[in-house]
Amino acid sequence: MKLKYKFSLPSVIQAVIIACLIVYLAIQGNNQLNNLKSKTAAVNSATDYVHSIAGNSDRFFLGEINQSEFENHLNRAVSSLNNQVAFDGTLLIKEMGSINEMIKSAHVLQNENESVIGKIMELTEHSISQSAGYINQTATNLVDPEKRKQVSDLERLVIIGASINSSANLRIQTLAYQMLKDFSIKDKLLDFLDQGIANATKDAKDLEGTPYQVMALAAVDANKSIKELTLNYINNVEAETELRKQIAAKEDVMLEKLNEVSVSVIDSTFGDIYGLGLFLFSTLILITIVIVVLGLFFTRLVTLPLLNLRNLVTSVVKKGDFSQRIKVNQKDEIGEMAFAFNTLMGALEQTIAEVNDVMGAVAAGDFTLEVVSEQKGDLDRLKGNINRSIDLLGNTIAQVDSASEQVDAGTKQLTQSAQALASGATEQAASLEEISSTTGIIDSRTRTNSDNAEQARQITNQTLGIVKNGNRKMNEMLSSMKKINDTSSNVSKVIKVIDEIAFQTNLLALNAAVEAARAGKYGKGFAVVAEEVRNLAGRSAEAAKSTTELIETSIKEVESGVTNSDQTAEALAEITNTVEKINDLIGEIAEASREQTTGIDEINRGLTQVNEVVQHNSSISEETASSSDQLSAQASELRNLIGKFKLKTRPAHSLDLVEDEPSDQFYLEHQD
């Protein structure tokens, strides 16, 4: 791996992890907010229901709605609480049930009060009618001149008392109606009743021993009954008021519970958000530590080889030992630098060793040796100076000339071979690039097939779920149709009962007609009624017969529908089994595609390595060809320089080289 990739790897890892954390934080935060919204909506909906129940309870006590309407609204609220899952609504449902029972009790109290008011009106009307009857009777006697003298003073006083009693009863009715609107009138009504009871009791005592004492005692009993009914009404109203207070208290309890639930939901959500932030903070710290450790690790990978290289160079400078090498197994720039350094040290060592050998031979009087290795720069100039010095020292110029000719021929042949090798390596590299591109396309298509297989597997899973759901719905429909069949059978039985009743009614109508005929003219009206009843019974029997035929037809259609539903359910079951088999096959295809993708990845890596080796060989071949050209030119120049010397004799060439083309075998060996 290159150094730039090593140094950028921690930053890339950090960026990827932070991006993943941001996405995770966004998803979790969105989930928390959605959860908070759903729970808050549920709490708000429950609060609206509680406020609505409070408003409807007030409307009930005001008489705007009845108990059945209130119960329907409360049942909707209870159903909504049972269906929501945002919080535990058991307490709310229990309190709503208690409120419903209180409303029922209040409804009973209201019905009792209506009955009480009715009874009070009946008692007062009865008392007024009695007083009016006595007053009319006495007034009739007073109007008649013959009976006027028979009316005693006591009767006249009783008339006045009856009139007062009627006025008192009218006053009781008025106060009773006023009490319905203003409950504070109850004290005035009770005081008036107490006064009426006292007056009636006094009148009964004054009329003791007279025939009119019964009327006074009846007034006392009536007033006492009215007072008892009034007290009952007052107790019911007070009980109803207490129920309203209890309902209001329970509504406050439910609102307080909803407030607690709302606070709990908010606290829970913010607690989750705090935990999420703490997780993010801890993760960032851990990522920072990991990145620092990776940075130190990669820094050590760089600094340690450089320190070894510095120590080795220092040792070479101090000791002059060019046989030392640095050992680095890295394949980055540092590894390339170490390889170049080792190459340089090898070249220096080889050159110095060769120079020492040649100069040792020259010192021993042997001028047959020379520096022949390929060199560049200062080493190349050193090599030329040494070789020229050797050439100028002795009678080996002829041999040097022969050697230079051989070198010239050999370099030309080497140049041709190197060029052929470079051309073959280039063609190999191009072929490998095409193969790599082809395998890349195959890899892409294999991955696409794998993804498509996975998507197909997901779709079949969804299809399987849909088919199973349809099978379940079909079973439910089958059960419903069976219930309809049973219900139709029961209806048919009821129609038969109606038919029998119509038959019995027809018989009764016939009997009634016979009896009416026996009664003669007195039974004509009854005969008409009996005839109408008979006609009605006939129409009922005909309708029952038609209804029976329709029901039987419906039963047959339902039975046919049940049969079709059974067949449809069996077909859905077969579809479910088929989809499951298809899902299993697609899963096997997806697994095979993944295995193919893995194999193609391994082939790509192998081709990449081979391509790198071929590119490297091609570069070396081109460098060899270039070096051979340079060496050939230098050999020609050397022959020209040697040709300047004048020699007595020039030895014959000991070796003739023919500039032949490189053989196919040579090309194939290098190509291999």
For residue 586, how many other CB atoms are within 10 A of its CB?
Answer: 20
Q: How many CB atoms lie within 10 A of CB 639?
A: 17
- In this prediction the pTM is 0.40
Q: How does pLDDT run across 434-461, given as a tens digit for each residue?
A: 777 777 777 777 777 777 777 777 777 7
How many of the other CB atoms lie within 10 Å of CB of 468?
16
Q: What CATH number was assigned to the domain covering residues 117-249? A: 1.20.1440
pLDDT at 557: 73
In Å, the largest CA–CA distance within the chain is: 209
> What's the pLDDT score for residue 397?
60
Distance of CA 50 to the CA centre of its chain: 30
CA 284 → CA 9, 22, 95, 271, 288, distances in Å?
17, 11, 49, 20, 6
Chain centroid, CA 329 distance in Å: 52
Q: How far apart are CA 233 and CA 229, in angstroms?
A: 6
The token pair at 157 is 């006083």
Q: Are 162 and 134 in contact (CB under 8 A)?
A: yes
The predicted pLDDT at position 651 comes to: 54
The answer to whether 27 touches 70, Cβ cutoff 8 Å, is no
Whose structure tokens read 């954390």? 21
Torsion of CA 612, 617, 618, 619, to 10 degrees: 90
Confidence (pLDDT) at 655: 41
Query: Average pLDDT for consecutive 10-residue bins of the chain (672 residues)?
Result: 59 76 78 75 80 84 85 86 78 86 88 88 85 76 70 70 82 86 85 87 81 81 89 89 88 83 75 76 81 73 71 74 68 68 72 77 74 74 77 63 70 73 73 73 73 74 74 73 71 71 74 72 68 75 75 74 73 74 75 74 76 74 74 74 53 44 39 40
Backbone angles phi, psi at 328, to 5 degrees: -135, 125
**204: Cα within 13 Å, side-chain hemisphere:** 14
Neighbours of 121 (CB within 10 A): 16
Say how many CA atoms lie within 13 Å of 496 toward its Cβ. 7
> pLDDT value at position 263?
79
Domain ranges of the chain: 20-106+252-281, 117-249, 333-418+635-671, 439-627
User: How far is C-alpha 640 from the chain's CA centre?
Assistant: 90
- In 347-373, which positions are buried (b, 16+ CB within 10 angstroms) versus exposed (e)? beeebeebbeebeeebeeeebebbbee
Q: What is the pLDDT of residues 326-356, one digit of tens each?
A: 676 666 666 667 777 777 777 777 777 777 7
In sequence order, what DSSP letters do the residues of 110-173 get, joined into one string? HHHHHHHHHHHHHHHHHHHHHHHHHHHHHHHHHHSHHHHTTS-HHHHHHHHHHHHHHHHHHHHH
Q: Which residues, 6+ apart, have CB-to-CB distance to 64 below 8 Å?
A: none
Type of residue numbered 270:
F
Backbone angles phi, psi at 60, to 5 degrees: -65, -45
DSSP state at residue 652? P
pLDDT of the residue at 399 = 59
pLDDT score recorded for residue 235: 92
- The pLDDT of residue 232 is 92
Question: Which two three-digit tokens encode residue 590?
Answer: 């997806």
Within 8 A by CB and 6+ apart from 411, the residues are 628, 629, 631, 632, 635
Work out the number of other CB atoms within 10 angstroms of the CB of residue 668: 10
* Apex 344 CA angle, 338 and 350, nearest 5: 135
Which pLDDT does position 203 carry in this prediction? Answer: 80
C-alpha span between 71 and 125 (Å, rounded): 37
388 CB neighbour count, 10 Å cutoff: 14
Can you give the pLDDT at residue 96?
A: 85
pLDDT digits (tens, 9 = 90+) for 15-68: 787 788 788 777 877 777 777 777 777 778 878 878 888 888 888 888 888 888
Mark 208-230 as b/e (b = at least 16 C-beta within 10 Å). eeeebeebbbbbbebbeebbebb
Q: Residue 267 carries which side chain, given as an amino acid letter?
A: D
Extract the tokens encoding 394: 């002795």
Query: How many Cβ atoms from other residues are within 10 Å of residue 129's Cβ?
Result: 12
How distant, in Å, are the alpha carbons of 44, 97, 99, 102, 257 from that of 47? 5, 16, 16, 20, 10
User: Under CATH, what is the fold of the domain 439-627?
Assistant: Helix Hairpins (1.10.287)
Nearest of 142, 136, 159, 143 to residue 215 by alpha carbon: 159
Residue 658's pLDDT is: 38
Helix segments in 207-332, DSSP class H: 213-319
Would the CATH topology of 117-249 be identical to that of 439-627?
no
Q: Left, alpha or beta for 646 (phi > 0: left; psi -120 to 50: alpha)?
A: beta
Helices (H), 320-376: 333-363
Q: Distance (Å, rounded) from C-alpha 182 to C-alpha 175? A: 10
Which contacts (CB < 8 Å, 24+ apart) does range 258-263 have? 258/43, 258/46, 258/47, 258/50, 258/92, 261/43, 261/87, 262/40, 262/43
